[in-house]
Structure 1
Amino acid sequence: MRKTITVMIAAGVLSGCGTNINPQKYNDISPSFDPYHFFNGSVKAWGIVQNRSGELVQRFTVDIKGSINNDNTLVLDETFHYEVGEGVTRRVWNISENNQTDMLQGSADDILGIAQGQLYGNAMRWQYSMNLPVDDTSYEVAFDDWIWSFNDNTIVNRSYIKKFGITMAEVTIFMQKLPNVN
């Protein structure tokens, strides 16, 4: 019993050490982030994953082809290339606006349930769960992504990968919209 209480207290203290970003701070910051505009076309991304100790465990690039379907669904076809580590090689997101909640929602084959997104001026919060493969097993984790717009062609995405409310790894991705080539 004493061991159980100690574990519960430790988990509570550690979960309080997580990231607590106030989204309202970004409502009036320009330029506003519009994922439909930014991702409609080709985007190049460069990213890293760091474990809890800050060590680099993955370094990768992503080629993203975005398009908007007739039903106003944003489709992101992502192809990953790893220089360090391994991971998913392809993901296709289908993202749409939920007019009832004024939020974005999305799905992909390796995502559990529905991802939820909310826009705040130049920022967007994107949350979802997935089974994350690590070595010979996988772990159900929650992703808490924050995306900030620098300008119409550049964004940064900071992801916090959490298990039991504790940040286990962090992802930093820089993305640049490529010029349309006719």
Structure 2
Amino acid sequence: MNNRYKAILTDGLVTCLVIFISSCSTDVSSYENTTPKLDIKEYFTGEFVGYAMVQDYSNKVTRRFCVELNGTWDNNQGTLAETFYFNDGEITYRTWKLSKLANGQYTGKAEDVVGIAQGKQAGYAFNWRYSLSVPIDEDTYQFTMDDWMYKLDEHRVMNKTTMSKFGIDVAEITLLFDKSSNQKTCVKPLI
């Protein structure tokens, strides 16, 4: 087989693979008829905490953290202040400026988010996508975040985020928000 036919065959296989992979991705609208409905504006109001773990590409837990959240809204403009307490002693902060648009759409900006985050709610699910700048040692890297939230009941939301670089998944973050507790601050130090 000559090089021209090999190139055509290779291009065809790559195209089929891309179509197959993209057809497997979930669209948030497939959750439209599910309950309980997750209203981001309603749920992310007030003070509460969440607990999380970070797993690397091999599923090994590499970090754990607690996050304190404080959300306020003025009509359809929201502020969500987050303070992260990692088990290794690191403390970081992020303040989201959120906008609720029509049809379950949201946008957001934060100091370590590159550009504008895009989100959509349907039924009990919310999908949030953005690029995040993460300092590692002396450098800063950009990662693509594919963030999914699922409302479990009146008080709890499960959050699962895939972190990728160049289309390769490098980490996964699993986070549970629980507003049933009166706990407003993280227990320090996190062990």
Residues 1:164 and 2:169 are matched in the alignment: no
Identify the match of residue 139 of structure 1 among 141, 144, 169: 141
* 25 and 102 in structure 1: CA distance in 2 versus 1, 3 angstrom threshold: closer
| Residue-by-residue CA offset, 1:3-39 (whole Å, 9 max, x unaligned) | xx9xx989x969949x722423311110000011111
| Residue-by-residue CA offset, 1:39-65 (whole Å, 9 max, x unaligned) | 111121000111101111210000101
Equivalent-residue separation in structure 1 for 2:84 and 2:134 (angstroms)? 15
Equivalent-residue separation in structure 1 for 2:72 and 2:93 (angstroms)? 16
1:29 aligned partner:
34
Identify the match of residue 72 of structure 1 among 76, 88, 111: 76
* 102 and 147 in structure 1: CA distance in 2 versus 1, 3 angstrom threshold: closer
| Residue-by-residue CA offset, 1:80-132 (whole Å, 9 max, x unaligned) | 1111474x611100111234x75100001111000000011100000000222
Equivalent-residue separation in structure 2 for 1:49 and 1:132 (angstroms)? 14
* 179 and 52 in structure 1: CA distance in 2 versus 1, 3 angstrom threshold: closer
Q: Which amino acid aligns with 2:69?
A: I
User: How many residues in Structure 1 have an aligned counterpart in Structure 2?
Assistant: 172
Instruction: Extract unaligned runs of 5+ from structure 2.
Output: 184-191
Question: TM-score, normalising length from structure 1?
Answer: 0.82
1:83 aligned partner:
87
1:24 is paired with a residue of what secondary structure? helix
Equivalent-residue separation in structure 2 for 1:56 and 1:153 (angstroms)? 26
Equivalent-residue separation in structure 1 for 2:180 and 2:35 (angstroms)? 21
Instruction: Extract unaligned runs of 5+ from structure 1.
Output: none
Equivalent-residue separation in structure 2 for 1:77 and 1:24 (angstroms)? 28
Does the CA-based 8 Å contact 1:42-1:180 persist in structure 2? no
* 178 and 74 in structure 1: CA distance in 2 versus 1, 3 angstrom threshold: farther
Q: How far is 1:135 from its partner?
A: 2.5
Q: Which amino acid aligns with 2:44?
A: F
